[in-house]
Amino acid sequence: MAVNRDIYERLRKRMLMFYFAAGINIVMALWVLSAGAGQVESGTLGVILLIFIAFAALNFYMARVLKRQWDNHLRQQGGNPGDEVT
């Protein structure tokens, strides 16, 4: 089964962008934790960390949603999600 390679590449780039953004959010959370531990109150630090981790989780979730939509699209076209893209 032939799947449009252009559509697959655009979707793949979006998924990688979400994973990259999630990684940046995790790095920022760790940086804030290490740099701000003695500088600000623990409540403020907790809120900032929670925001970064929530955005990282959201980015991971969005990447998984795109992957799931692609797999469903392949199933509707009569192929398997593991099929090669041509």
Residue 51: pLDDT above 80? yes
In the chain, % of residues over pLDDT 70? 87
Angle at which helices 42-76 and 5-36 cross, to 10°: 170
Tokens of 43: 């409540």
Instruction: Please give the model's pTM, rounded to 2 decimal places.
Output: 0.79
For the chain, the average pLDDT equals: 88
Among 26, 27, 7, residue whose Cα is nearest residue 69 = 7
Q: Do residues 85 and 51 lie in contact, with contact meaning Cβ atoms separated by under 8 Å?
A: no
Confirm if 21 and 59 have CB atoms less than 8 A apart: yes
